[in-house]
A and B are shown apart, each in its own frame.
Chain A
């Protein structure tokens, strides 16, 4: 089983984590095609992805820049960097 470093409590087995996928911002006031692409398409090519992880035992959310080819974690990203607003 793989291991992953939880930024809060260190190295843990991967089964303790939920992988939520790439960090994405919903497009606002866009055409239907753009919206459909957001809903249904995901980046699948090997690359450095900014992705969201959830460590269930601690309830801790974090964001990683991870190379999906080598499994190498490049950076822990501050959640403030990926915040977005929704129409109010």
Chain B
């Protein structure tokens, strides 16, 4: 471990716990608390990865997850970000983007062909000739993309947590900790989140050796950790800002969806690269990266250093290097007459040569930095006529910062360029959003602490509806910490602006020349800021370059909004379990205990049939035959059931349903068809009149909630005196159907079931098993039958009683499939199966349900007046020849006429009553009226002939409703 330094006062590593791992086949070790990158660098590996396009050697750049030079592959995961991923025992790592090994990447010569791969060349080169594109596509896919996904992955579920706080503070550096503390001390419920494993922020690396910071650091950390009002989320990042301050906090163990009342962004700044030739060589890194490496991991970034700077922070970094025992060869300051503070003075006092008004013209070295060429810099470019070479293996860049303002942009904050600080700063922030610290331009420790307090006071005043007068600009620094043009051209290029995508200065210049000179266009054409680090280390230079090309201000040039997520979020953190309510009828357990195969119906589970799956067809047929010949019982509790009460009840139903409900006689029911304004059928059921101002209506399973909503909305629209009660859950229902139903039921209820007093379509109230029930004579399945609506808690007892008493008639429970066959034999339509989102009642063959003449108004009537004359399709019955055994016809198979689509099958089933296949088809007119034979195209593509016919297929005159009486007679 040649590069490991002596113990640093704030180091994160635990020297007592050695962690061994393998990298590119070699056995290495680090300490607990190391990141992958720091452990590799401690072992002398400065080469951490290869660049995306040219496979250039790359080392640590930011060590802050602002670049992706160091991406690794393990057995389980890919694109592991080594700069921040904690080292784990026994992990086996490889570099991601290499062909062969990291050291001898076979693609490392691609850079030699760079001049044949200008910006945007993908878009231009591979389209012609067209037939070669599949070849190129395969080649590009091999070369592009990063790690390899292990498709043999094991499923990992991470919990989703939900949390709430008054004030979220993002970033636990000096200003963030101060803001959290000030707010907590004033009584606010605060969450403080920081992406690092430990709080402290730049206090702990940039100001690690600064005596003035020592006391502040200890006090702040201690108070923040121990304050009862502060909840700390270390190693979590705020991945995005969503409306009403909904902020996902992503951590190693999953996601916490936090709702806050307000948010303070103390997100700090991201150091930006200087642009010069070979600025991507391992050994060239941000000053803050070197400070992180030394202070957090006690790893020496090099032996002999040059610092390129344009701010005080560069001199602080120079001092830190010397403190760590690294030889400082020179400081190169981009400005000739800089106003630098005491750190610069200390550097000078130590006798370090300082090159003022100079820049780095080029870095040199093959796999690692060996020397730099220093040249005079005039604020625009270097003068290469006089170059000074300085040998060094480390070059720190400290030329400027970009605000970590992603969340502020997402929250629709307005930001603008500040000429004093040469930085983009918040101008107008929306309600509940505040910023403090360096992201707000407060740079000195005093400024940051004062700004943290100010932001906390402002946020609290806003939360409590109080007035707050302090300006957000109050504690901003008055000197620049960023250079407006840290960019040096070079005829041989390789001066990278964006390391993710190997974008050089000339790529952006060329993109602009080609006309992509708008910030959004240049981004997409050149792909600047579109790599995995999303421009965190590059966007500011991109904007500066475009502004210079256009000769306009940074504000005028604009910036792109970084969308969520702030860092890539594993899909496992986002993916949720299927989480939705399931509704159970009182009889569900009975169904399951009696072999029912359940199917989904809206939120409900309903028995499809009772029996073994391999006997599905026979089971369904036997159930249907039981209803036709004897007795069946089906659970219809899932039907919507709505009580309509009040003087205007009849008016309401007249307005909502197509048929006239005000003329229903007490004790009778009527078919209830619901259409929308456009005349399309949306639901059906029955309406029953229980009294002068008392109705009971049913709705289909899946539309029950919507029907209730439509009824209640109409009550409000028309100002009706009606009260609606949704009884869907409190009442269960079952349909006792079959010629023997009357005989069975009359022994079990006090209701007089004789034909005279309780005719077809009647409704009666009475008792069964001691419970109040409603009996309705319905005809859906086409046999004598009674729907029994009973309180949910008594329903199971009634069901049991019917099954027990019905045993002597061989009663059989039946499911949804048998019911479908039975209703099809009667030609009854199922809304949503035989109709779709465009079907009107005329097409569904129900003109009898549309009283256009006798009703002055109902919802959808004006549309139906028009549609009646323009009917284009009609639902028609069809049947197949007896004994048909050809290829199966399925629902949605198309009806073909002269090679064109002329309709589709909506329902088809084998009818046990008719002994043949029957069905319904929606047919174009006039085919529906004229055709003698229809041809349906089945799965194999062949056509099957069938004959159209009238419906109902079964019992057209409805004699089955009194089948028991006629037989007796």
A residues near B (Cβ < 8 Å) are 1-3, 18, 20, 26, 28, 30, 32, 35, 38-40, 52, 54, 56, 59, 61, 71, 79-80, 82-88
Contact = CB atoms under 8 A, between A and B. Distances in A.
B298 interface: no
A88 B244 contact: no
A83 B717 contact: yes
Given A35-B862, A39-B678, A86-B857, A80 B243 contact: no
B717 A82 contact: yes
B866 interface: yes
Nearest to B706: A18
Contact of A71 (B243, B713, B716): B243
Interface in B840-873: 856-857, 862-863, 866
Interface of B: 242-244, 246, 259, 655, 677-678, 705, 709, 712-713, 716-719, 726, 856-857, 862-863, 866
A16 to B, nearest CB: 13
Contacts of B719: 79-80, 83
B712 A59 contact: yes
A40 B678 contact: yes
Given A3-B259, A40-B678, A84-B717, 16 more contacts: A1-B244, A2-B243, A20-B713, A26-B862, A35-B862, A35-B866, A38-B677, A54-B713, A56-B705, A61-B713, A79-B716, A79-B719, A82-B717, A83-B719, A84-B718, A87-B856
23 contacts: A1-B242, A2-B243, A2-B244, A2-B246, A3-B244, A3-B259, A18-B709, A26-B677, A26-B862, A30-B862, A35-B866, A56-B705, A61-B716, A79-B719, A80-B719, A83-B716, A83-B717, A83-B718, A85-B718, A86-B718, A86-B857, A87-B857, A88-B857
A60 B643 CA distance: 17
Contacts of A86: 655, 718, 857
A39 B709 CA distance: 19
Contacts of A71: 243
A34 B323 CA distance: 82
Contacts of A1: 242-244, 246
A3 B108 CA distance: 53
A88 B655 CA distance: 9
A84 to B, nearest CB: 6
B694 to A, nearest CB: 20
Contacts of B678: 39-40
The interface centre, meaning the residue of A39, A56, A71, A80 with most chain B CB atoms within 10 A of its CB, is: A39
A67 B908 CA distance: 50
A20 B716 CA distance: 13
B308 to A, nearest CB: 46
Contact of A61 (B677, B705, B712, B856): B712
Contacts of A83: 716-719
B677 A39 contact: yes
Nearest to A27: B862
Contacts of A18: 709
A26 B677 CA distance: 9
A54 B863 contact: no
Nearest to B710: A20
A84 B678 CA distance: 19
Contacts of B712: 59, 61
B718 A32 contact: no
A4 to B, nearest CB: 9
B453 to A, nearest CB: 29
A26 B676 CA distance: 12
B123 to A, nearest CB: 34
